[in-house]
Amino acid sequence: MIGENLVFSLNATVPVFVIMIFGWFVRRVGLLDEHSTAQINKFVFRTLLPALLFMDLSTADFRTVWDGKLVLFCMGATVLSVSIAVLFSLTHKDVSERGEIIQASYRSSAAVLGIAFVNNIYGKSTVAALMIVGTVPLYNVIAVVTLSLTSPERSRSGGLWRSTLRGIVTNPIILGIIAGLLWSLTGIHQPVIMSKSISYLGNMATPLSLIALGASVRFSAAKGKVALTAAIAFLKLLFFCGLFLPAAIALGFRDEKLISILVMLGSATTGSCFVMAKNLGHKGDITAFAVMLTTLCSAFTLTMWLFILKTLSYI
């Protein structure tokens, strides 16, 4: 039984991280550079992920798909995680770096890894999209607030607040979810040409995003930040899971829903944290190393959590 559960966990996690390692390798050999990696990230974020979410949701029965309890749990866990991250940041003397600490501690690769993990284990599923509904808007709003309030360039942050909040409203992932849900409500059958075209785009989202994420890893960001980012990684990959997974289990979440919650709580800090930190006047060193360290460590911690949940028959 233990061997079977370990194989199940490895089958779920290893393929995801093999593709990320492949991304790191092609960057090392020069097939990708910083500019091309950034362009791939932008392309995936603005087109492929929205297409994937639309593809999954538009063909599903909305009444079957929607789970308000899951969405509310994800929102509540996110708010509490942020509160804990804020308290942790207060132990750091440099006020200008507290925003980076907070964002790196709570903000997961929910869109990329959430879809990848759930689909890898259960096949096509719409559950990850509901987790994204409960987290992504909060992730962005809270990041703007914390990074702006602690920015070394606070005089610039007013205009950035407005532009970033406008970006939340026009967030491609959110728009993809809304469009998919609205199409599902209409009950209109998709023409074959449309469904095949969208599926071509959607099926590219996960591998390309994982390659770009692996290519973004920077070991040079580790200088002088090891102890701090190790503490961030502990919160991100272990503490929040240990705190909120038992609550999720007690509330009756199982299988795809529990996996989505696990990824929300315990996946690596998303690479977009670095972009937002830089845009709001921060150095970005803490964020860059946190992304790298949590990405590397999550290969082991997510496997561990999956093994525990499988052994206890919750997935």
Q: What is the pTM of this model?
A: 0.75
In the 8-state DSSP scheme, what is residue 189? P
Residue the block writes with tokens 């980012």: 229
At residue 160, the pLDDT reads 57
pLDDT higher for 299 or 231? 231
Residue 146's nearest CA partner among 277, 36, 44, 41 is: 277
User: Two tokens at 158?
Assistant: 């007013």
Fold of 2-311: Na+/H+ antiporter like fold (1.20.1530)
Residue 130's nearest CA partner among 67, 54, 206 is: 67
Least confident range of 148-157, 246-255, 256-265, 266-275? 148-157
Alpha-carbon distances of 100 from 126, 137, 146, 288, rounded to whole Å: 31, 18, 8, 10
- The alpha carbon of 27 is separated from its chain's Cα centroid by a whole number of angstroms, namely 22
| Residue 296 CA neighbour count, 13 Å, CB half | 13
User: Two tokens at 289?
Assistant: 């190393």
Residue 175's nearest CA partner among 57, 272, 283 is: 57
User: Two tokens at 298?
Assistant: 């999550």
Q: Cα separation of 40 and 42, whole Å?
A: 5
Are the C-beta atoms of residues 267 and 298 closer than 8 Å to each other? yes
Instruction: Average the pLDDT over 86-104 and give the result.
Output: 90
pLDDT higher for 25 or 124? 25
Residue 275's identity, in one-letter code, is V
The ranges assigned to domains in the chain are 2-311
Residue the block writes with tokens 């790196």: 104
Residues 6+ apart with CB under 8 A from 193: none
Average per-residue pLDDT for the chain? 81
Alpha-carbon distances of 295 from 24, 165, 218, 237, rounded to whole Å: 11, 27, 11, 10
| Residue 240 CA neighbour count, 13 Å, CB half | 33
Dihedral class, residue 242 (left if φ above 0, else alpha if ψ from -120 to 50, else beta): alpha
Instruction: Average the pLDDT over 172-199 and give the result.
Output: 83
Query: Is it the case that residue 48 has pLDDT exceeding 70?
Result: yes
pLDDT classification of 226: cutoffs 50, 70, 90: confident
Query: Is it the case that residue 86 has pLDDT exceeding 80?
Result: yes
Query: Is it the case that residue 20 has pLDDT exceeding 90?
Result: no
Residue 303's nearest CA partner among 52, 120, 108, 129 is: 120
Instruction: Average the pLDDT over 275-298 and give the result.
Output: 78
Q: Cα separation of 22 and 95, whole Å?
A: 37
pLDDT higher for 64 or 190? 190
Are the C-beta atoms of residues 294 and 233 closer than 8 Å to each other? yes
